[in-house]
Chain A
Amino acid sequence: MNRLLRYAVSAGGVLALGLASACGGSSDADAKMDPDVPAIEVVSSYIPEPPASVAAAYVTFRSRDDEADRLLSATSDVTDVVELHRTRMDGGTMSMEMLEHFDLPARGELVMEPGGIT
C-alpha cells in the first residue's frame, strides 16, 4: 500500500514525497480513521535559502497511524536529486550520512531539523 503526499514548500517549490508502508499496511487501521484527517501529515517544512548549489529541506511528519511507516524517497521540481541524510556529530567532527529511509513511528513524528538536533 502506498500513500502519496503532495504539498507546497517555500518559494513555490513542490516536493512529492512517496511513503510506503513498512509493514504491509492494514485496512483496519484506515477504517478507524476519520477520512477527513490524513493518517500522515506534514506539519512543517522549509528550505533555508542556500548559499550554494546544495540545499537542505527540513520536513516534519506526524502520523496518526497505528503502524510505523517509512519515508523512502522524495522528489522536487527544482532539482533532479533529493537524498535523505542524517547529520552526525562524532568527537567534534560533523558528518553527513546518506540513509535509505527515515522511520516514521506509529503515532509519532519524524522530525528533520538543522544539524540533526532534536
Chain B
Amino acid sequence: MPSWRALVALALLTAAAATGCASEERAGTGADQRDGIRIAEARPRPDFVLTDTQGNPFDFREETAGHLTLLYFGYTNCPDVCPIHFANIIGGLDQVPDEIADEVRVIFVGVDPPRDSPERIREWLDHFDASFIGLTGTDAELAVAQAAAGVPPATRDPDPGNGRYAVSHAGWVLGYTAGDEETWRFPLGVRQQSWARLIEQLSEMGSTES
C-alpha cells in the first residue's frame, strides 16, 4: 500500500463563500436538516445493467433486491463530495451491528468512463470498504442508468488537454429499502451518526433476504 503522498497528483482547494459567521450558522443548522429526505412516493429501485469491477454484467435491480441499497453516481477523480459521502457512509456502517451492515449494498457508479476504469473504481472503493460494489459502462449505458434512477445526467467538463477536468454529477445518494417500501435521497452533509441511525431505521423495513 503506497502512502497517500505518492498518490497525490493534484490537490484542490475547495472554497465556500467567505463569511465570518459561517461556522455558527452551520452549527446551528441542526442535524435533522442534514438527514435524508424521503421521497413522498416510493419508487421501485431502477432497472439497469452496468459492468462491475470484475468486468461482469451487473443487473442492479436483480442483484440488490431484498437489500437496503445505497446508490451513488460519482467519479474517481472527484476530490470533494464523493469521498465525503463515502467516508461518512462507511463511518455510519461501522457503527451499526454487523448483521445489519452486512445486508446493506453500497453501489458506486463511475460516470467518467475515460478515467473510471473498473480497476480504478475498485481501488477507489477499497479505500473505503472492499464490499462496496463499483459499476461503470459506456456513456450510453450510464445515461440509461441515470435516467432510470431519476438523477440529472452527469456531464464532463472539456478536457483542457492534460486529463484534468471536472465532472458534474448528481449530488445525492439514493436509498432503497429492502422491499422498495421507501425511496430516499441523502444530500451531502449527512453525518456518520445520522447514517448509522438511518441505516438501522431503514433496515427494519421490509424483509431482508439473507
Interface residues of A (CB under 8 A from B): 11, 13, 47-59, 74, 76, 78-79, 81-87, 89, 91-99, 102-105, 107-118
Assess whether A112 is in contact with B13, with CB atoms less than 8 Å apart.
Answer: yes
**Closest B residue, CB atoms, query A60:** B23
Contact code string B41-83 (vs A, CB < 8 Å = 1, else 0): 0000000000000000000000000000000000011111101
Number of B positions contacting A (CB below 8 A):
47
B152 to chain A minimum Cβ distance, whole angstroms, is: 5
Contacts A54-B77, A94-B169, A94-B188: A78 and B26 contacting too (C-beta < 8 A)? Answer: no
Assess whether A58 is in contact with B77, with CB atoms less than 8 Å apart.
Answer: no
A79 to chain B minimum Cβ distance, whole angstroms, is: 5
Check if B120 is an interface residue, CB within 8 A of chain A.
yes
A20 to chain B minimum Cβ distance, whole angstroms, is: 16
Assess whether A93 is in contact with B170, with CB atoms less than 8 Å apart.
Answer: yes
Contacts A81-B164, A102-B18: A59 and B152 contacting too (C-beta < 8 A)? Answer: no
Note all chain A residues with C-beta closer than 8 A to B127. Answer: 49, 51-52
State the total of A-B contacts with C-beta under 8 angstroms. 189
Contact code string B164-195 (vs A, CB < 8 Å = 1, else 0): 10101111100000000000000011000000
Q: CA A52 – CA B151 in complex, angstroms?
A: 25
Assess whether B15 is in contact with A95, with CB atoms less than 8 Å apart.
Answer: no
Q: CA A118 – CA B22 in complex, angstroms?
A: 5
Which of B1-9, B98-106, B197-205 has 4 or more CB atoms under 8 Å from chain A?
Answer: B1-9
Check if B141 is an interface residue, CB within 8 A of chain A.
no
Q: CA A95 – CA B125 in complex, angstroms?
A: 21
Note all chain B residues with C-beta closer than 8 A to A78. Answer: 5, 8, 11
Assess whether A85 is in contact with B12, with CB atoms less than 8 Å apart.
Answer: yes
Assess whether A57 is in contact with B13, with CB atoms less than 8 Å apart.
Answer: yes
Assess whether A83 is in contact with B152, with CB atoms less than 8 Å apart.
Answer: no
B191 to chain A minimum Cβ distance, whole angstroms, is: 11
Q: Select one of B15, B17, B22, B171 contacting A89, CB under 8 A.
A: B171
Assess whether B171 is in contact with A93, with CB atoms less than 8 Å apart.
Answer: yes
**Closest A residue, CB atoms, query B9:** A53
Q: Select one of A56, A76, A99, A107 contacting B80, CB under 8 A.
A: A56
- Within 114-140 of B, Cβ neighbours of A (below 8 Å) are at 120, 123-125, 127-128
Max chain A C-beta neighbours (<10 A), residue from B15, B26, B123, B168? B15
Q: CA A107 – CA B8 in complex, angstroms?
A: 34
Note all chain A residues with C-beta closer than 8 A to B171. Answer: 89, 92-94
**Closest A residue, CB atoms, query B153:** A93
Q: Select one of B14, B18, B152, B172 contacting A87, CB under 8 A.
A: B14
B8 to chain A minimum Cβ distance, whole angstroms, is: 5
